[in-house]
Amino acid sequence: MATAATSRRLPASERLRRSLGNGRVSAILILLPPALILFTLFVILPLGESGYYSFFNWNGYGAPSDFVGLENYERIAGHSIFHKAVGNTVKIVAVSLLIQMPLALALALLIFRKTPTNAVFRLIFFVPYILAEVAAGLIWSFVFDGNYGITASVAQSLGMDSLFILADRDWAFVAVMTVIVWKYFGFHMMIYIAALQSVPEDLIESGRIEGAKRLQIVRYVQIPHIKPAIIVSAFFAIIGALQVFDVIIPLTNGGPSNQTHTIVTYLYTFGLTRLNIGFGSAVGVILFVAAITVAVFYQRFFMKGDKA
């Protein structure tokens, strides 16, 4: 109170000198510009550019000159393959949240304790995540191959016809989602393992004394304790699902008959490979807006910090 009252009566120059003197303002003046420059250079400018290109019919050569207004956006909005791609992306979000995360949590609960065997399992489960996406896609395309793949030999030994899963309109995307879950659950599992290791052993033991069974301890003690980690991992799952791309290209390349596109493979296929840079930019802008919207809402509703 007293300091606030005195500073109000001080002349402006004196106030400035004092606030510089206390280090906060000078720290901001020194530290902010580099961050601001980098952010502008690598985030704002490219975004602004693609926003600009999205109003042109432009193949990427020379300067864009054929201004078409919102036509690119109108074409996207009316394109059934884009609708399919959005639907698929939503499916990936759902599978990530409803299958991948519970799976990761269940495995984390089994192997979070520090023992030699658990360390081995942890490594095994984490390998898919370390693997390059393209390599993962290729490996699984062999697995699913209708002639020599594992699924083919399983089908044959069961006396069924050869399965060409990745060429099947109904099953190809199921296969894609399986690979996605396989590829990324290890990441979420690691987040949960780290969080579970920080749950004090006393809490679990006092739960046992109070009469909690194993699953009740999970539900009432461990999960509430790692809720912040779950919220963060769900955020990564959603944002990651919006951006799935490199697993799909070697697996199905969006086929059969464009049934397995995500928003990003759609952008790549219809924007980049066909040299419709303006069109692709418009898809990019839509994706960006979607991601930002999700991020903002998520932050607002889930990441306000626990008021515990």
Partner 1 sequence: MAEVRLNNITKKFGAVTVIPDMSLTVPDGSFTVLVGPSGCGKSTLLRIISGLEMPSDGEVMIGGEDVTFAEPSDRGISMVFQSYALYPHMTVAQNIDFGLRLAKTPAAEREARVAEAARILALEDYLDRKPGQLSGGQRQRVAIGRSIVRQPKVFLFDEPLSNLDAALRGQMRVELAQLHQSLDATMIYVTHDQVEAMTLADQIVVMNRGRIEQVGAPMDLYDRPMTEFVAGFIGSPKMNLLPGAAIGRGDVKTVGIRPEHLRADPETGDWPATAKVVETLGADTVVYADAETLGEITVRLPGKMRLSAGERLFLSPEPGNLHLFDEDGHRMEQTA
Q: How far is the CB of 118 from partner 1 (least distance, A)?
A: 18
Cα end-to-end span (Å), the chain: 30
Task: Measure CA 89 to chain center.
Answer: 11
Nearer to partner 1, 105 or 241 (CB): 105
Nearer to partner 1, 162 or 206 (CB): 206
Q: How far is the CB of 115 from partner 1 (least distance, A)?
A: 14
d(CA 43, CA 37): 10
Nearer to partner 1, 204 or 249 (CB): 204
Q: How far is the CB of 305 from partner 1 (least distance, A)?
A: 13
Nearer to partner 1, 174 or 203 (CB): 203
Q: How far is the CB of 204 from partner 1 (least distance, A)?
A: 9
Q: How far is the CB of 215 from partner 1 (least distance, A)?
A: 12
Nearer to partner 1, 15 or 214 (CB): 214
Nearer to partner 1, 98 or 303 (CB): 303
Query: Residue by residue, what is the 3-state secondary structure of the chain?
Result: CHHHHHHHHCCHHHHHHHHHHCCHHHHHHHHHHHHHHHHHHHHHHHHHHHHHHCCECCCCCCCCCCECCCHHHHHHHCCHHHHHHHHHHHHHHHHHHHHHHHHHHHHHHHHCCCCHHHHHHHHHHHHHHHCCHHHHHHHHHHHCCCCCCHHHHHHHHCCCCCCCHHHCCCCHHHHHHHHHHHHHHHHHHHHHHHHHHCCCHHHHHHHHHHCCCHHHHHHHHHHHHCHHHHHHHHHHHHHHHHCCCCCHHHHCCCCCCCCCCCHHHHHHHHHHCCCCHHHHHHHHHHHHHHHHHHHHHHHHHHCCCCCC
> In this structure, what are the phi and psi dihedrals at residue 168, rounded to the nearest 5 degrees?
-95, 125
Residues in touch with partner 1 (CB under 8 A): 200, 202-203, 205-212, 216, 220-221, 224-225, 227, 306, 308
Nearer to partner 1, 207 or 254 (CB): 207
Q: How far is the CB of 170 from partner 1 (least distance, A)?
A: 43
Q: How far is the CB of 114 from partner 1 (least distance, A)?
A: 16
